[in-house]
Amino acid sequence: MEATDNMHAQDHGHHHHKESFISKYVFSMDHKMISKQFLITAIVMGIVAVMLSIFFRLQLGWPGEKFQILNAFLGDKWAPDGILDRNAYLAMVTIHGTIMVFFVLTGGLSGTFANLLIPLQIGARDMASGFLNMLSYWFFAVSSVIMLASLFVEGGAASGGWTIYPPLSALPQAMPGSGMGMTLWLISMVLFVASSLLGGLNYVVTIINLRTKGMKMTRLPLTVWALFVTAILGILSFPVLVSAVVLLLMDRSMGTAFYLSDIYIQGEALDVTGGSPLLYQHLFWFLGHPEVYIVLLPALGISSEVISTNSRKPIFGYKAMIGSILAIGFLSFIVWGHHMYITGMNPFLGSVFVFTTLLIAIPSAVKAFNYITTLWQGNVRFTPAMLFSVGLVSTFVTGGLTGIILADSALDVNVHDTYFVVAHFHIVMGMSAIFGMLAGVYHWFPKMYGRMLNTKLGYAHFWLTLVCGFGVFFPMHFVGMAGAPRRYYSFSEFEFLDWVMDLNPYISIFAIVGGAAQILFLVNFFHSIFYGQKASQNPWQSNTLEWTTPVQHIHGNWPGALPEVHRWAYDYSNPEHEEDFVPQVVPLKPGEHAH
């Protein structure tokens, strides 16, 4: 390993030539540039997903009202007279979910921060394979473009919900969205999985092999631990999704019947027998549930780092935090059946899933309590990143608790597929992961662009987002418990829901304001890239290695030899030191105990 280090160092010394625009900004193999590419792509995808959600919230808040803005954006076919078309509504819901889960919170979150932080925080010159890393981004970019393109095809984008259950998604006769749009969705997802696998393998290999001298696994920052376990989850579960998706493609275009049997549709008894629609659900959720933690763990890892740094305190229970990340990672593979309690699955099998699912609450609770204890007797500095991290703990707890209801099969029966579920996962997974991602952007922006984001705009952004986020999703619990199913175009046909539907306009207003609040972030982000205040080398007085690199990015990250690590990442306010932080590169004092 040392030999490679030297080689890299020499490499750096001897070939310091000017790079072309293409190799620097487009087909870059530098992990820092790839990280920025992931982030910007995710931001673009995020803007689309938020706009789609505002379109369908307009319909849900004021069903049947005419909004010229819908017509302006969507045209006469999808929003004739400014009223959202029923099929277009389902397409918006589907693509909103797909983009948010996969493109923003998987590709965007892991892609950005795994790329940025893994080499910088473990003390490596770059990822193990820069080439695979570049491929990973470009698969992601192409799959993003295909997903967006699917919005513009005949029949509209995929419309069966982001879980695209067959037979609905397998039969073009079943709905317009199961035509070309669905095919593109599937192709896009295959490329997306390729991207995730290339990225994930790279992350794992890099963390195992390229840690600098002294960087034991037990000295890794929790961000790296979280990204490590996330990558392993992805490597083990995404191939199952790709199988599910490819089998579905075959059912659609090659006459196979993996998921189809005994179907009569549009006046025709289909020539397919022997398949099982439930097989798809098993395969999908075998990825689908680990996916929740693929989305969540990086956010939790980022928050561990941000909360510890800004509380000026070591993260409480470092080893317990690692243990709970591992426990959550392991358990996430044996809980997928809780999405299928009411599919006719054997009730005994259901009870096994009840048991495993509720077990996850234990490591999750440990994490939440450890965050709160980290704040206790700290010296809390409210940077925007810190605010978002505190917000994350709140959403993680609030949303996690309703998971207890959903995990309990007997209770799930009555709230399954209702707005209660929508509320649950948007808070625990949507808001938490977005908050973690934003915390990461605010915290590491100086590392990415060498400039600072504006703090005041960050504050406004946080408070508006927090209030609007809860304003949108918290009331949905009650809408769901009253029996309102999700993915309904309108609830005007059901008298028994009228009384609770008066919440819907308020939810939509919060959604619109919350969406608009993101403009603050966009302005701040893009303005600061060029005009932000110049960052100092270690603006947050943090311990981790990335803050020992020069502000101006260079290939190979450190100008001279790689730094050597002497202590863990959380020596904040260590009583044996004058300063309230002790970077990992500072050698132990004589007689000082390593933590």
In the chain, the N- to C-terminal Cα span, in Å, equals 26
Tokens (6 digits) for 289: 């549930």
From the CB of 225, what's the least distance to another protein, in Å?
A: 16
From the CB of 553, what's the least distance to another protein, in Å?
A: 19
Nearer to another protein, 235 or 359 (CB): 359
Q: At what angle do helices 432-449 and 384-407 cross, to 10 degrees?
A: 150
Which residues are 581's β-sheet partners? Answer: 572
Q: Is the distance from CB of 428 to CB of 395 less than 8 angstroms? A: yes
Nearer to another protein, 575 or 590 (CB): 575
Q: How far apart are CA 105 and CA 428, in angstroms?
A: 13
Nearer to another protein, 140 or 318 (CB): 318
Nearer to another protein, 132 or 375 (CB): 375
Helix, strand or coil for residue 571? Answer: coil
Tokens (6 digits) for 590: 């004589």
What DSSP designation does 157 have? B
From the CB of 362, what's the least distance to another protein, in Å?
A: 5
Q: Report in angstroms the alpha-carbon separations of 502 from 401, 436, 496, 506.
A: 25, 32, 12, 8
Tokens (6 digits) for 382: 């409210």
Going through 421-498 in order, the beta strands assigned E by DSSP cover none
Nearer to another protein, 130 or 471 (CB): 471
Q: Report in angstroms the alpha-carbon separations of 334 from 195, 353, 421.
A: 25, 7, 20
Nearer to another protein, 153 or 205 (CB): 153
Nearer to another protein, 444 or 572 (CB): 572
φ, ψ (nearest 5 deg) of residue 265: -145, 145
The residue type of 25 is Y
Nearer to another protein, 64 or 560 (CB): 64
Residue 186: name the closest of 156, 227, 157, 152 by CA: 157
Residue 428: name the closest of 548, 311, 543, 297 by CA: 297
Residue 98: name the closest of 202, 169, 4 by CA: 169
From the CB of 562, what's the least distance to another protein, in Å?
A: 27
Residue 337: name the closest of 398, 416, 274 by CA: 416
Is beta strand 268-269 parallel, antiparallel or unpaired with respect to 264-265? antiparallel
From the CB of 418, what's the least distance to another protein, in Å?
A: 7
Nearer to another protein, 266 or 552 (CB): 266
From the CB of 136, what's the least distance to another protein, in Å?
A: 32
Nearer to another protein, 23 or 537 (CB): 537
From the CB of 487, what's the least distance to another protein, in Å?
A: 4
From the CB of 551, what's the least distance to another protein, in Å?
A: 13
From the CB of 499, what's the least distance to another protein, in Å?
A: 8
Question: Which helix (DSSP H) or strand (DSSP E) does residue 265 occupy?
Answer: strand 264-265
From the CB of 106, what's the least distance to another protein, in Å?
A: 22
Tokens (6 digits) for 587: 């050698």
Q: Is the distance from CB of 406 to CB of 415 less than 8 angstroms? A: yes
Nearer to another protein, 208 or 404 (CB): 404
Q: Is the distance from CB of 523 to CB of 453 less than 8 angstroms? A: no
From the CB of 63, what's the least distance to another protein, in Å?
A: 10
Helix, strand or coil for residue 451? Answer: strand
From the CB of 116, what's the least distance to another protein, in Å?
A: 20
**Positive or negative, the Cα torsion across 407, 413, 415, 418?**
positive
Nearer to another protein, 510 or 558 (CB): 510
Tokens (6 digits) for 56: 């369908």
What DSSP designation does 269 have? E
